[in-house]
Structure 1
Amino acid sequence: MARAPLGRQQLLDAARAELVAANGVVDLNALKRRSGLSTGALYHHFGSKAVLLVAIYEEFHAGLVAAIADDTIADEHGWGPRERARTRNFVAYHFADPLAELLLGRISTEPEVAEVEAATLARIIESAGRNIRSGQESGELDPSIDPELAGACVMGALRHGIAEQLRRHPRPAVEDATEALWRFIAAAVGVEAVASAISPASTPAP
């Protein structure tokens, strides 16, 4: 992704670090110290702290979309292997970002972030429905499944499932977390989980 203008990116990077250090809280004085910029810079680039938090969430989501895009799983053939590979990329992306647990929990309760998150989830669910429908059209998924409903259920469970995995101590390995989530997804859409499993070596990292 293209980098934001320097002052703006400094604030984004500093706010991310501060959120992690302060368990989901951004204090303006701490942000000033960490970024080396004034409060005026914050208002110049974002207008408010809430808009800064929205920008962080949007940056996180853009990275997630890139990590699970079709071109990251282009070498996999068949709906099951492709979607298991996508699930692994989804898990690996969340496990690699120290902000993921906060963004799925405490920060998402901020009204401005929650509004953006709701719109983002709606787009993800719509995409999941199309993906399930494509599997039905190719004859790989049960045609009697309601693709939109299944997409909503799968994505809701996947979001809460990854949040649960992130909270665990010790945190499970990426492959173990992937397998646990994939077995649920496969069962939900009628795919044989074992038959569609792939080896870690054949899965591209996000």
Structure 2
Amino acid sequence: MARPPVGRQQLLEAARDELVRGNGVMELSALTRRSGLSTGALYHHFGSKSGLLVAIYDGFYQGLRRATADSHLPADADWATRERERARRSVAYQFAEPLTPILFNRTALDPELTELEAAYIQGMIDMAADNIRQGQALGQLPEGVDPDSAAAYLIGGFRHVVAQQLRVVPRPTPDQAAERLWSLIATTLGIG
């Protein structure tokens, strides 16, 4: 995979650091100080502050997709075993990613991101619904479960449970949080 140009990468890393440090707030002056680059570099690489935030969101969701890709899952396992591992990998990624609490606990960092985030979430819901249909076709999930409704419920719930688990003191381990989530997923899908 090709690395982005140095100035672009510096801005991305500095912006991520600023968002974490500022709990979701990123001032351009702090960003330029941290990156060592000018606001002109920001506009050159991203077009606007919103463009930079879009790149950060995209990086987060691309990382999540890579972490939970089918290639990381046991190919010869039944649906529940495979999806339990996907849930574990998803939680592990989100617990390790410092931006997760910011992205999951704020409506949007920028008004222009609201539509983008909705598209990411809808994409996850669509993939989950297809996955549920696959489990039903294999005879490993009950036919009475509506895949589209269950997927929307699970993806929305998953995000909120991860956000809640990240706020709990003491914070559970990723494996503990994943087991809690899997219990809810299994119950929802009738495979408890």
TM-score by length of 2: 0.96
CA distance in 2, matches of 1:180, 1:169: 16
1:42 matched to which residue of 2? 42
Q: Identity percentage over the alignment?
A: 53
**Counterpart of 1:157?**
157
1:110 corresponds to 2:118: no
Unaligned 5+ residue runs, structure 1?
A: 193-206
Residue 167 (structure 1) shift: 1.4
Q: 1:29 to 1:189 in 2, by over 3 A?
A: same
TM-superposed CA distance for 1:190, in Å, is: 1.0
Tell me how far apart the structure 1 counterparts of residues 101 and 23 of structure 2 sit (CA, whole Å). Answer: 10
In the TM superposition, structure 1's runs of 4+ consecutive aligned residues that sit over 6 Å from their partners are none
* 8 A contact 1:107–1:113 mirrored in 2: no
Which AA in structure 2 matches 1:161? V
Q: Relative contact order, CA 8 A, sep 6+: which one is greater? A: 1
* CA distance in structure 2 between the aligned counterparts of 1:71 and 1:7, rounded to whole angstroms: 32
After TM superposition, list the pairs within 5 Å mapping 1:4-15 onto structure 2. 4-15=4-15
- Aligned to 1:77, the other structure's residue is in SS state coil
Shift of 1:126: 0.5
Deviation at 1:2, TM superposition (A): 3.8
Displacement, 1:74?
2.8
Q: Equivalents in 2 of 1:169, 1:183: separation in Å? A: 21
Q: Secondary structure at the match of 2:169?
A: coil
Query: What is aligned with 2:121?
Result: 121
Q: Check whether the contact 1:51–1:112 (CA below 8 A) recurs between aligned residues.
A: no
Residue 110 of structure 1 deviates from its aligned partner by 2.0
Partner of 1:30, secondary structure, is: helix
Query: After the TM superposition, which residues 1-206 of structure 1 pair with which residues of structure 2 at under 5 Å, given as runs?
Result: 2-75=2-75, 77-106=77-106, 108-192=108-192
Q: Secondary structure at the match of 2:37?
A: coil
Measured in 2, the distance between the counterparts of 1:127 and 1:147 equals 10
Counterpart of 2:133 in 1: which secondary structure?
helix
